Amino acid sequence: MAKSERKVVRYGIGFKKMVVSELEEGASVGFLQKKYGIGGAATIQGWAKRFGKYQLLNKIVRIENMSDQNRLKKLEEELKATKIALADSLIAKQCLEALIEEANKEYKTDLKKNFGSDASAKKGEN
């Protein structure tokens, strides 16, 4: 069995620009592929990105009504408020941990381990 040789075609920049200009004038990608024997589905679109104008490429258009926009704004505000509350709680936690650490140094004890031990001992006495 003989290996079939694969044909590699390299297109020049001038040719690519010519094809893109035809595309911009209104020719379809499929028509240009057939006309010039260009293989590959994304070849001409790649050339259009590189050499042409972007208005010919597929774009995502988002259409919203006012209630969708209001809902989006409300959710963004809610997210912002949540992030602020999270930051505040993290700062408070760090402050409390620093306070416990300083109290441990001052009283030469470990408050986290000893917290509540007196209360549980008193309950056992009753």
The beta strand positions in the chain, using DSSP E, are none
Give the span between the Cα atoms of 65 and 8, in whole angstroms. 50
d(CA 78, CA 100): 33
If you search the block for the tokens 């010519």, which residue do you land on? Answer: 18
Can you give the three-state secondary structure of 92-107, one letter per residue?
HHHHHHHHHHHHHHHH
Residue 6 CA, distance from chain mean position: 39
- Note down pLDDT in tens along the chain; length 126 residues: 567 777 788 899 999 999 988 988 888 889 999 999 988 878 888 888 888 876 555 667 777 788 888 888 999 999 999 999 999 999 999 999 999 999 999 988 887 777 666 544 555 554
Q: b vs e for 80-89, b when ≥16 Cβ sit within 10 Å of the residue's Cβ?
A: eeeeeeeeee
Q: Specify the pTM.
A: 0.41
